[in-house]
Amino acid sequence: MCGIAGILNLDGSPVAPEDLESMLAPLGHRGPDDRGIWTEGPAGLGHLRLSIIDLSPAGHQPMERSPFRITYNGEIYNFPELREELRALGAVFTSNTDTEVILKAYEHWGPSSVERLNGMWAFAIWDSERRSLFCSRDRMGVKPFYYLQNRKTFAFASEIKALLRLFPSERKPHIPYLYHFLATGTHDDGTETFFENIRSLSPAHCLTVNGRGTTLKRYWDLHPNRLQGTLPKGDLSGRFRDLLTDAVRIRLRSDVPVGTCLSGGLDSGSIVTLATRITEKPMHTFSAIYREKDCDEGEFIRAVRDDCGSLATEITPLPENFLSLLPKLVWHQDEPGGAPGIYSQWHVMQAASGQVKVLLDGQGGDELLGGYFGYFPPYLRTFFQEEKERNENLLPELHGIAEEIEDLTGETQASLLQELVREFHAPKWLPLWLFRDLKHVRLALPGKKRLRNNGMFHKDLVAAANRSPIRRNLTPRFPRELDESLYRSLTANSIPALLHYEDRNSMAFSIEARTPFLDYRLVEFCMALPYDQKIRGSTTKFIMRDALHGILHPKILNRRDKKGYPTPVAQWFRGPLRDSIREILLSEDFRNRRILSPQYVEDRLRLHEEGTDVSTEIWRWLTLEIWFQE
């Protein structure tokens, strides 16, 4: 894990080393162990190293294997196997680094070499013979790659703040993207960012820049036609267990200490348990435990800790530090925050700092296997669509599932509006909340309409956003709605933001975060699974629970609720932070941003204080204001 930066002057002028120095200056947290700058005429690469594999000077970057130079951020987990394959083809290695493996792979296989990599990466390779820059980002977008291009220059970096050092005039908010974020609470991993002219290289894409122009190419895709027929015959649970175990195993490869995040859920508990079995040693675990009852995961964290004999570090973030910490957190994120869980995550990373350099985390398990309650509506539609042709007794079975879901979620049974019965051709005894969600899922798929003001936004923001709205391709690609919902979570609505937050939070403390559930082999396998291997009845993550039976502690295996990274900001915003929150969000400065309707903000604050939880909205507004101040 490192920080990278680079410049290619398209007009042929030489790169000034001081420009690269300026870009690297705000990225020191990403690579405290080594620093390198290289220039050759119109091309220049910069690198900050966090030493993980081969700690010797042989891992210095930018690395040269003539005619190529590379600056690289990430880890290639299958680099030992690739190195042996390349040796058999005649390659000679002078280091034990995965960086050199990437260079030799590129030398032998060219741009298609990225298809052989299993890992997380963002890199750029300069070919001095062809005078061409080849850039690539990993399949899931774990590692960031931002760039800015004008008529004279193409520049890239791991974080936007580095590009703003080179182009200070580009601190222009991207209003349509801002609208999208505030309206939905999400940002997808397309090319847009919160800055008008700064772009992100999309996951699973390569970008080539040279005198002939710029070429963008996708090298991997989750498409139902490609996944069809890929499932092995026989024991699917056994195959899942093998894939997850191997994903954990190769992510334990490191020349520095490795630990794990432990939140008390099924995903992190599985990783800790499997890692302990693989290493046959206690794992260092790091957890946030709150005193507030609704956010207290201590019971489940202790179950895994004691079962695995973990070397546990447990911390309790306090509200007293909340507002003073936010500017630092937002500075590292380079953008407003979508959900307050990143505050807990920040403290977990801080606790791990100085003890380990690598942390395994459970991002992706919920999005692969339907771990959130919000996946029940598309699951029920899928169940109804798949089963109605072959099951004459479907209605009683579906009714039973609906009752189980109600027991789990606490939602009460309600009669259906006749309009919804006609629209969905579904039994009228399903709970009303499910049908509202089902309608939302269905209406969200066909396309994007003109942006409207629902009273939340200032009219100037809506007008500006409508002048150049963000276009989203919402045409379904998966025939089953559950699969489509999971796909959108993986590629747009959830995982891109979670990976962004985790990268910035971990790198703020010079820690490399690794995500076994996002191993592309496991992602492809899970997306190809039958829907009832993901959710069955009211049981989420069905195949995972079956695969880890007898391995994972029963308290975790049988856990049915879902909390993510619980953070008690709802209570804090009503209690010790109430007056400070009001002072910020009702201030003249915030009003003059002309982003949100002042009356709407005041009404929502009052609603929250009266007991309705809108803390996530408040969190977004707070981080938005701090972002503008930065």
pLDDT digits (tens, 9 = 90+) for 395-426: 666 666 766 766 666 553 233 223 323 344 44
Tell me whether residue 92 is exposed, middle or buried, using C-beta atoms within 10 angstroms of its C-beta: 0 to 12, 13 to 18, 19 or more. Answer: exposed
Count how many residues are written for the chain. 630
pLDDT-based confidence at residue 391 (cuts at 50, 70, 90): low
For the ranges 15-19, 232-236, 472-476, which has the lowest average pLDDT? 472-476
pLDDT of residue 412: 38
| Arithmetic mean of pLDDT, 489-503 | 94
| Arithmetic mean of pLDDT, 138-157 | 97
Helices (H), 425-480: 432-444, 459-467
pLDDT-based confidence at residue 566 (cuts at 50, 70, 90): confident
Shortest CA distance to 289 belongs to which of 566, 558, 498? 566
Say if residue 531 is in the same domain as residue 556.
Answer: yes
Cβ–Cβ under 8 Å, residues 61 and 24 = no
Q: Helix, strand or coil for residue 255?
A: coil
pLDDT of residue 546: 98
Strands (E), 298-432: 311-315, 358-360
pLDDT-based confidence at residue 160 (cuts at 50, 70, 90): very high
pLDDT of residue 396: 63
Q: Angle, nearest 10°, between helix axes 495-507 and 322-333?
A: 110
Say if residue 199 is in the same domain as residue 294.
Answer: no
pLDDT of residue 186: 78
Last residue of a domain, one of 545, 567, 589: 567
For the ranges 66-75, 468-477, 524-533, 574-583, which has the lowest average pLDDT? 468-477
- Active-site residue set: 2
Buried b / exposed e over 346-356, threshold 16 CB at 10 Å, is bbbbbbbeeeb
> Does residue 73 register a pLDDT over 60?
yes
Q: Please give the distance of CA 478 from its chain centroid, rounded to a whole number.
A: 21
pLDDT of residue 452: 54
pLDDT of residue 453: 58
pLDDT-based confidence at residue 550 (cuts at 50, 70, 90): very high
Say if residue 607 is in the same domain as residue 499.
Answer: no
pLDDT of residue 385: 78
Q: Helix, strand or coil for residue 405?
A: helix
Of all residues in the chain, what percent carry a pLDDT higher than 90?
74
Rg (CA), the chain: 25
Q: Please give the distance of CA 100 from its chain centroid, rounded to a whole number.
A: 27
Question: Residue 600 is part of which domain span?
Answer: 569-629
pLDDT of residue 418: 32
CATH code of the domain in which 418 resides: 3.40.50.620
- DSSP-derived secondary structure for 514-534: E-GGG-HHHHHHHHHS-GGGT
> Does residue 341 register a pLDDT over 70?
yes
Q: Please give the distance of CA 374 from its chain centroid, rounded to a whole number.
A: 18
Tell me whether residue 612 is exposed, middle or buried, using C-beta atoms within 10 angstroms of its C-beta: 0 to 12, 13 to 18, 19 or more. Answer: exposed
pLDDT of residue 423: 40
> Does residue 460 register a pLDDT over 90?
no
Say if residue 67 is in the same domain as residue 164.
Answer: yes
| Arithmetic mean of pLDDT, 160-183 | 94
pLDDT of residue 74: 98
Last residue of a domain, one of 218, 244, 266: 218
**What is the value of pTM for the model shown?**
0.92
**HSE (side-chain half, CA atoms, 13 Å) at 576:** 9
pLDDT-based confidence at residue 447 (cuts at 50, 70, 90): very low
Say if residue 240 is in the same domain as residue 108.
Answer: no
315: β partners: 288
| Arithmetic mean of pLDDT, 475-488 | 92
pLDDT of residue 263: 92
**Residues with Cβ < 8 Å from 556, sequence gap 6 or more?**
264, 265, 266, 269, 270, 300, 303, 304
Q: What is the mean pLDDT of the chain?
A: 89
| Arithmetic mean of pLDDT, 457-465 | 86
pLDDT of residue 429: 44
The two beta strands, 311-315 and 284-288, are parallel
Say if residue 262 is in the same domain as residue 214.
Answer: no
> Does residue 441 register a pLDDT over 50?
no
pLDDT-based confidence at residue 427 (cuts at 50, 70, 90): very low
- Sheet arrangement for strand 199-200: 34-40, 43-49, 2-9, 153-157, 146-149, 199-200
**Phi (first) and psi of residue 311, to 5 degrees:** -90, 95
Domains of the chain: total: 3
Say if residue 131 is in the same domain as residue 258.
Answer: no
Say if residue 257 is in the same domain as residue 144.
Answer: no
* 443 C-beta neighbours (distance < 10 Å), count: 9
Tell me whether residue 49 is exposed, middle or buried, using C-beta atoms within 10 angstroms of its C-beta: 0 to 12, 13 to 18, 19 or more. Answer: buried
pLDDT-based confidence at residue 449 (cuts at 50, 70, 90): very low
DSSP 267: H
Say if residue 206 is in the same domain as residue 247.
Answer: no
Cβ–Cβ under 8 Å, residues 122 and 138 = yes
Q: Give the span between the Cα atoms of 396 and 400, in whole angstroms.
A: 6
Say if residue 585 is in the same domain as residue 439.
Answer: no
**Which tokens is 388 given?**
């109605």
> Does residue 253 register a pLDDT over 80?
yes
Q: Please give the distance of CA 15 from its chain centroid, rounded to a whole number.
A: 33
> Does residue 41 register a pLDDT over 90?
yes
**Which tokens is 318 given?**
């306090």
Q: Give the span between the Cα atoms of 320 and 313, in whole angstroms.
A: 21
Q: What are the pLDDT digits (tens) for 260-294? A: 999 989 999 999 999 999 999 999 999 999 988 88
Last residue of a domain, one of 152, 186, 218: 218
Q: Give the span between the Cα atoms of 116 and 489, in whole angstroms.
A: 25
Say if residue 516 is in the same domain as residue 600.
Answer: no
CA distances from 445 to 220, 359, 385 (A): 23, 36, 17
Say if residue 549 is in the same domain as residue 415.
Answer: yes
Q: Give the span between the Cα atoms of 100 and 116, in whole angstroms.
A: 15
| Arithmetic mean of pLDDT, 99-119 | 98
**Which tokens is 411 given?**
């939602």
CATH code of the domain in which 161 resides: 3.60.20.10
Q: Helix, strand or coil for residue 46?
A: strand
| Arithmetic mean of pLDDT, 605-612 | 95
